[in-house]
Every structure is written in structure tokens, then in C-alpha cells.
Chain A
Amino acid sequence: MNDEVLIVEDLEKIYSGGVHAVRGVSFKVKKGESVAIIGSSGSGKSTVLRCINRLIEPTNGIIKLNGEIINNPLADVNDIRSKIGMVFQSFELFSHLKVLENITLGLKHVRGMNKEDAEKIALEVLARVDMLDRIEAYPGNLSGGQKQRVAIARSLAMHPEVILFDEPTSALDPELIGSVLQTIRGLADEGMTMVIVTHEINFAKDVADRIIYMDKGIIAEEGPSEIIEKPKTDRLKEFLSAMDEE
């Protein structure tokens, strides 16, 4: 068996309004690899991410998880999603549930575990993101960084094959970003397979094994993290200099 966990081939997405958001994107993610997708707003990077766990149905193309095609209408989408973790820009914690319940929900109702086992796993993953002290709090009473760490713990608890990060830090205050990036970096070091859509160029360089630069729906440049320092294409150069000015 090859070690490519995720394969995306010729992914294309046309929204019902006629917007051609993604125009043929292909890439592969190896086991234990972390891939960062960067690009300006509207370049289609979030669409690619959402197509991978079929929150958006792709118009064309093939997506394989562990060699299995997952974007056919007959596949069990719920089972696939439970193997793919997702962390959102706006956290999307379940605000009516306490931190612990946020994490045990999926274990109990998707994995069918009993309460004790689920809580054991939940406490483990909360320890990994350093949130053990707030397990009885409601999400409304947490800070942004804490919320995002709980969201990461929620996807970790399902033991996913790959975790998708959709701009995990862009809704956070600058002083809160650090703790979240620390957590993600920790996961990368532990060998978690990750696809990260981000605006944090430095973080991408730091964490990602490989960087994909997307522009206008296609992959404009792809390569190891060094391409940030030595961009080959003009478009990436422009993008990086625009980011520096901010």
C-alpha cells in the first residue's frame, strides 16, 4: 500500500451561480505530511478544502482517501467525514454544550461509544491541547484561542486520517494566535496528516512540509516550504510582497 493518504485529481467546482471557483486542482498528501495552501481571497483554497470532505459537492474530479474514491454519490458521506477532521475559521463549537460534551458528542453518536469511554478519550485530547482546566465551561465563556484549541481537540478525538484546517487563526486576536499555532505545530511534530489553509505565511513556512500556492482557481506554484523564500513565479512574488506590506 502506498503512503499517500489523500489524492485530489483534476478537482473542479462551478457554483450554481456560475462562479468557476476551482479549475482543475491536483495534489497528493502523504501520511504524516502537512500541506499548507496559501493564496489571496477568492483563489478557491477554502472551496478545495470543503470539497475534500464533501461539505461542497465537487463538479468534476476525483478525491481518494486511502485509495478509496469518496466523491461518488453512493459512498457513505457520514462515514467519510468522520475520518476527516475539520477545523473552522470561526471555531463552530456547539454553544449549548460544555467543552467536554462538545468533544464526546461525536464519539457517542458517530462512534457509538458509551459515556465513560468517550470521556476518557475527550480528556486525553483536551490534555493534548492544554484545555483540561476548562472542561466544564460553555464555549461562550472561552477566549478565541481556547475555543479554537477545543475545536482542534474535537476533530482529534475522532482519530481522523487527516485534519483540514480552514484558516484556523484568522478570526483570532494577534496575541491569541500563538497558543493555537503552538498546538498545530505540536500535532505536526507528532506526525498528524494535515491540510492547512492559512494566511499566516510564516506559520505555513514553519509547520508545512509542502506549500501549495493557489491563484484564480488553479495551483500556481507548489513545492517545499523554501518556495516562500525563493518564489519562482511572479504571481507568488506579488502575493508575498503584498502580505509583507500588511
Chain B
Amino acid sequence: MFPKEKRISAWKKIPESSRILIIASIIVIIFLTPNLAEGYESTWNEININSNNDYNAAIIDSNGNAWVFGDDGIIIQGEKLANWSIVDSPTIKDILTADSNENLIVAAGSDGVVIYKEILSNEWINIDIDNQTRINSVSINNFDEIVIVTDLGGIKIFKNNEWLEINSLTSENLLDITFENGRGLISGSSGLILGSEDNGLTWEIRETPEIIATSEIISIDYYKTNRAYAITSDGTILKSTQESLTTTVGYSWAVKEIESENYSTSINVNLTSLDVLSTTKILLTGQDGFVALSKDGGNIVTPQLLPEGSKNQTINDIAMETAFRGIIVGDDGKIFYTENGGEDEPVGFEIIDLSDFNEFVDFTKDNLWEGLKSTVKIVIFGILLGFFLGIILAMCKTAPTTLKQMIESDLEKTLTLFWLVIPISIFSIKQSGIGLGIFTFLSIIFISILVNHYINKNKTETEGFLGVVIPEHHRNKIIKILGLSLLIGIPISGELKVNGGAELIYSALVDFHDFKLGSNTPKLSSQLGYIFAPIGNPSAFFGLIIGIALTYLGVLFVSTDGSFSKKKIYAGKLILLISIWTIILTELFVGFELNKFDLNINNLMKFSLFLGLGFFLTRRITPELFRKKAKLNDFNISIEPWSLRPLNSMATLYTDFFRNTPLLVQFMFIHFGIQLGKHIQNIGVDFTSDLAIISSYLGPLDSLFSPMIDYINESLFGPGKRSYLSAIFALGLNSAAYQCETIRGAIAAIPSGQMEAGRSIGLTYMGTMRLIILPQAIRICIPPLGNEMVNLVLNSSLASVIAYTELTRQGKLVVAITFQIFWTWGMVMIAYFVVTWTLAILLRRLEEKTRIPGLGISGGS
């Protein structure tokens, strides 16, 4: 028709060589700038003494002198942690453990050796128990009495110059003992912790978490009397806090979840020793040169470096004089000394003048660049998730699948869904968790559709589903049985069953009733507390919703007569009217006392408002009442129960929920409330480890797949990815609700004749949707979807509230360090602008690329 005129963008008008130059200089600016810190170095200094014995125990006494004990009875003194020398020992047996207080130093070890020394004296006194008992730990109580623990539940106390046996109530091996101000704790194998409140004369078993029931608690330590920590030999950290100000610590123990090292409750290191430096700061040692510091009570455990050449040394004990000054000792005569709490020191820093813009940019651009990358990552995944979910929701909303169709022409499929797919999925959810349940659900549906397709491949007529055809004269009976099963449930095996609608509603109502949320009056306004019932018991709430749906379906199916027609509710309008007036009148008159009634403006307003509303609704619902010749039949309500569209209802519920709550609250609810990130991380880790097992059977292909699986595991489900996953899902789920409405609008804008035309050449509904409706609808909704995506980028800044270090949060951190508020937020704004602007340009390009000649007013060719 017209000669096609090519539109040339401004970018294309620049000569090619200049374009290359521009791109190259941007790359140079971004990548060729030096990094700030060069690395970290250890703050542990090795102390050299002429001995290669393994050192097993170390203490620092009240004078600030260090004592190190080891194999063959070696004793080393470090005067003021400075002058180190080997001192004469009264024994040649291996010393394994030591303790000290203001007056005494005591050490003990294999073959029953126990030696002690008063601080002021220079003489070691030998008080061996016998010649064979291996003493696992020794401690001193408030009365300067020495208490030792051994294998098989042995506890002995040195009272009045003789060893006294104490009943330990257990035959487990006892591994560590500690006293603090008259209270004592003993840890042992099989997750055992004993406590004493009377200087170690009597002991009782304290409760510990189930998860460590087979672990050895290798070390236990107090911090003053308000915190205690313990570690197991396989890397779990336990913490005990005071339950209230009046109770003491050490009664209840919880396993710490570790965030930085692996995502689980174990740091997967064979630990040897623990020292608590403050209520939240703990130092851990282990085999293979493991020294780690946690500043938040075991949430984040950061391994620290040992000096070069000693990196794999096994460390056996810690002795700290203050939170910063102390020593660790290990095998092969190793002693390390720190004045920095053992924390690594960054090297290569320079003092920067942050008020100079140039240096400020140098200092902060890495942080902001990291933030930008994080933002882009959640935005990309969020957009993808939102778009696919949005399309599915929009299809659900426009799907013409009614109950009538499900029962009349797709009865076989409906039966498969209710009698096969859902029971199996619930079974697998109950057996192995929600992740596998969803996987089972999807895979059964997928497989059955494939099988059905294969069975019906060469047939011109649809033969039911999966080869099963229910004959015409049995269909009604089957529908009634299906309805009955929805009402009363389906047994799977033994105790396990799929609950029916009636049962679900009943148990949910019982659960809600137990809350006692509402008050005793039947007024609606006093019962408002019940709207929060879903948060009190979410599963009961969902049970209620599913129960109502199942009961509706069940009653409908049972009462079917095979015609799927309209149903009349006799005098339905009157029933509705009576309920409305009951609510209004209870609200106004329950508890109403005429003699106390005060005729003020508030009461007048309330009465006129409620009565006015009542009359308005009466007028709207039953205009017949105001006519002269109203018959009872005029008040019938005619409903079409079979024209309910289940997919549409579910999608509407979803979009209504997400569009009517603030995104910020959704972020916090999803991340902190239901901890979606954590659950998805667990599912993801399980899934990738399953994949790794499958891959290991593939022989040579394994070397190809396993790095990919590792990469996915690391980058999506690795440590510290919880807020990342939560952010993706919060953004994606929210955006899906909005994108769904956009896409639905675009689908609605396609003339209905297109669907008719597609169906009339023999395409299925889904085929027409995929090949004809969606390609046109998506083109229409590119501009509004672009808007939505830009919104999503901007909304991603809310992820900062769930501690995801995206651009806004990095900006906050940079401000906290540099105090350059104007520059920082300015740079953050420019970074956001670049991202959204690029996105807008890409979408504009996409719109131009996909434009169809002759369709719509475009303003261009």
C-alpha cells in the first residue's frame, strides 16, 4: 500500500566506529578500576617452644599467666602471656583437661592423673584417683573443690582430701564439666546435659533438643550466669538463655540455626572446644585448623585464618583472658596468641578522604554495583515468575470451564482429579513434605495427559479419559457417588484419609471457637475479632475455605438429576432480607435500655445510618414489596449453581488478595511470617541433591551435569539466599496479580469472533488460546506490561526491609559508612534510572518488532 519507511533510532545514526568507542569506554570505566582491600591476614601469632608434644588443655589464671598442658605430662607456663617456658611436671601421664579459679589451678588426664597447685605456691600436688581411669574434664566449684567427670557416667568430687563418688543418674560418657557461681553443667554423649545447683553434689538431667540425641556434646561453657553455650563434636551449636529474670540459665537448650555455613544446624566440622566471650560472642575450634568466631550467638559463624604453615593444625583448647587477649593450643606443640579476639585483619586499606567526590565514588561504587546486580537479579526472576503466573491466572480467569462442563462432558477427567490425583498428592505431602507433593501433583497430571493423548491418538471420537468411558446410564449414579465422597472424604490407607467437606468445616469451626475471639453479645461489631482468625490458625482457615467448596460441590453433585439446569430458592429474597434485618436490629437493640438511652447526636447518627442502610437494601433487593400485588413466587431467587467456574473463582481469590494488601507488608509476611525463602531453600536443596544422585548414575555425563547442579544449588539455594528467594517470590507473586489483570484485559479486547473462528476450524480451546488469542493479546498488552515491569523494578527497593542487600539497602549501608548522603542517594537514583530506562527502551523495541501492519493506531509505519 505505502512504501515502508524505516524508522532510524538515534543510536543507529551514530557511526559504527563511534558506537564501538562508546561501548568500549563504558566497559573500561566499569571494569578497569582497582579493588579496595587486597585481603585478610591472621591475627594469631605462633609461640615457639622447644616441644612437639600434643597440647590438650590451656588456662589463664587470675594473675594473667597462661598454663598449657599436654601429652606426657608436659606443663608450659606463659608468664603474662609473654615469657614462655617448660616447667617441671609431677607426672608423665597425658594431661587432657585443666581449670582454674582465683585460688587454684587444676589439671587432669588419662590413667587417673589429677594435679593441682595453689596460685601463690610453685609446687604441684599429685592427687591421682587411680591408675587407669581416663578423666575427660575437670572443674573447680565455689568451695575450691575439684570435680572430675569420666566415661560411663562417673563423677567424683575431691572433698576433705578424698575422692567422693557422686550419682550421675546416667551411664553415658561425660565429656565436659563447668562451674559458674555455684551452678554446674556437665555435657556428655547421646545429647546429654546434666545440671547442678549445689556446687556439684547432686545432678539432674536437663532437656535437650531431639535433633542432637545421638551427638556427643564435646564442650559446654557459661557466660556469667545468664548465657550458656555447648557444642557437639559434629558441629552443632546449642544455646541456653534465661527463661525469665528469676530463673537460671541451663535448663532449656535450643539448637542454633547457622546461616553462613551451610543453611542447616551443623557447621560440618569436627569441633573440639568452645569459649564464650560475651553473651553473643563465641569462639570455636576444631580439627583441620578450624578457628571460628560468631558475634551473634551462633547465627553466623565466620572461620578465621591461622598463620601460614599451620593452616591444617588440629586445635584442642582455647583460653581467653579477655574477649580479645588469649591463646589456643593444638597438636604438635602449637600455641597461638591473639590480641584481636582471633578476628582476621583486613590489609591493604588506605585512609580515604570521603569528602572528595572522586575518592567517594572509588570507595562506594563496588558496593552500589553489587547492590545493582542484586536488584537486577531479583527483578529478572520476579518478572519471569510474575509473567508466567500472570498468564496462567489470566487464562484461569477467562476459562469457560463451568461445573456443568466438568461433570457433563469431562466426567472422566474430573473423577481422575478427585479420586486419583488429589488423594495421591495429599498422601505424598503427608509422607514427604509439600515440595514433593506439588511435584507429584504436577507429574501425575502431566503423565496422565500424555497417556490419554497416546491412547486416543488414532481415534476420531474422544473416548473418555485414560481409556475409561462411563456409559450414559451410569453417569448420574457416579456423579452422586462423587458428591458423597466429597462430603465425607476418601480413606487412603490406615489413619490417612482425604477429609470431606463436612469434616473440614466442622473442625475449622471448632478451632475458631476455641480462640474465644468474639465477646458474648451476638452483635456483629463485637464479633469483628473473628476476621483475624485466619492468622490464629491458617490451616483451619484454608480447611474452612476448601471445606465450603467441597460441601458446595458435594451437595450439588448428590442432588443432581442429570439436567444441570437452574435452581430456584423459594422465597430466597425474603430469607436474605430477614438475615439483613436481624443483623441490623441486633446491632441496634441488643443491650439497649430505654431508660439509659441518651438522645445525643452520636446515637441519632448511628440509628439513622443503620435504619437507612436497612431500608436502602430492602428497596434494592425486594422492589416487589412496594408493589401492590406481590405474590410469594416473586421472592424466589433463581441461581445457576452449575455455571460456577472453579478456575475463575480460585484466580479471583488470588488476585483480590494480592491487590488489596500493601507490598511492604507482603514482603515482611512472606519473609518473616511464613518464611517462604527458607522453605523454598529446603525444597530446592532436597531437589538438587536428588538431581545430583540421578546425575551420578549417568557415568560420563555426570561430569557435565554435576557442575551445573552445583552451580544452581549454590547460586539459588546456597547459604544466605533466603531473603533472595523471599524477595523474588514476594515481587513475583505480587506482580502476577497485576499482570494477570492486564493480560485478562487484553484477552477481553480480542473480538469473540476470533475464538469462534479458531474453534470452527477445529482447534481446541487451549489451542485457539495459544495460537490465536494470546499472540494478539500479548501484543496489545506490551505497553501496560512494560509499565508493570518498571513498577516492579521500583518496588524491588522494598526488598531492603527483609535484609536483602539490593541497591537501596547498599545505599543505606554506604551512607552509614561515608555520611555522604547527597552523593549516595543521587548515585542510587541514577542506577535505578539506568535500569528502568533500559527496560523501557527494550520494551519499546519489542513493541516495534512485534507490531502487525494494519492493526491498531501506532503513529508509525
Contacts and interface: CB of A to CB of B under 8 A. Distances in A.
Interface pairs A-B: 3 shortest CB-CB: A140-B854, A82-B762, A92-B757
Given A16-B640, A75-B462, A78-B762, 13 more contacts: A74-B472, A83-B762, A84-B760, A85-B761, A86-B761, A90-B751, A92-B756, A96-B772, A110-B761, A138-B854, A139-B854, A140-B855, A158-B762
Interface string B274-290: 00000000000000000
B408 A73 contact: yes
Contacts of A210: none
Contacts of A90: 751, 753
Contacts of B472: 74
B852 A140 contact: yes
Interface string A8-28: 000000001000000000000
A154 interface: yes
Interface residues of A, number: 35
B852 A109 contact: no
B561 to A, nearest CB: 16
A53 interface: yes
A94 interface: yes
Given A92-B754, A105-B771, A141-B1, A82 B761 contact: yes
B48 interface: no
Contact of A81 (B409, B461, B643, B759): B759
Contacts of B779: 96
A244 interface: no
Interface in B447-485: 460-462, 469, 472
B24 to A, nearest CB: 39
A95 B852 contact: yes
A154 B472 CA distance: 36
Given A75-B461, A76-B460, A96-B852, A81 B762 contact: yes
B763 interface: yes
B753 A86 contact: no
Given A81-B761, A90-B753, A138 B853 contact: yes
A50 B775 CA distance: 26
A155 B853 contact: no
Contacts of B460: 76, 79
A230 to B, nearest CB: 36
Contacts of A85: 760-761
A194 B396 CA distance: 37
B767 interface: yes
B681 interface: no
A158 to B, nearest CB: 6
B764 interface: yes
A192 to B, nearest CB: 16
A74 B771 CA distance: 25
B776 interface: yes
A95 B753 contact: no
B462 to A, nearest CB: 5
B762 A110 contact: yes
Contacts of A106: 761-763
A122 to B, nearest CB: 13
A73 B409 CA distance: 5
A203 interface: no
B860 to A, nearest CB: 14
A55 interface: yes
Most buried by A among B643, B760, B775, B852: B760
Most buried by A among B469, B640, B643, B764: B764
Nearest to B407: A73
A154 B761 contact: yes
B21 to A, nearest CB: 40
Nearest to B456: A76
Contacts of B764: 78
Contacts of A88: 753, 756-757
Given A73-B408, A94-B754, A138 B761 contact: no
Contacts of B852: 95-96, 138, 140
A189 B90 CA distance: 124
A13 B677 CA distance: 54
Contacts of A53: 760
B760 A86 contact: yes
Contact of B771 (A82, A109, A140): A109
A94 B757 contact: yes
A95 B89 CA distance: 98
Nearest to B762: A82
Given A76-B461, A76-B462, A92-B754, A55 B760 contact: yes
A74 B855 contact: no
A144 B760 CA distance: 20
Interface string B733-752: 00000000000000000010
Most buried by A among B640, B771, B779: B771
Interface string A56-92: 0000000000000000011110110111111010101
A193 to B, nearest CB: 16
A85 B753 CA distance: 14
A16 B400 CA distance: 15
Nearest to A90: B753
Given A75-B461, A76-B462, A138-B854, A96 B761 contact: no
Interface string A125-149: 0000000000000111100000000
Contacts of A158: 761-762
A87 B640 CA distance: 33
26 contacts: A16-B643, A55-B759, A74-B461, A74-B472, A78-B762, A79-B461, A81-B761, A82-B761, A86-B756, A86-B757, A94-B754, A94-B758, A94-B776, A95-B855, A96-B772, A96-B852, A105-B772, A106-B761, A109-B763, A110-B763, A138-B852, A140-B854, A140-B855, A141-B1, A155-B760, A158-B761
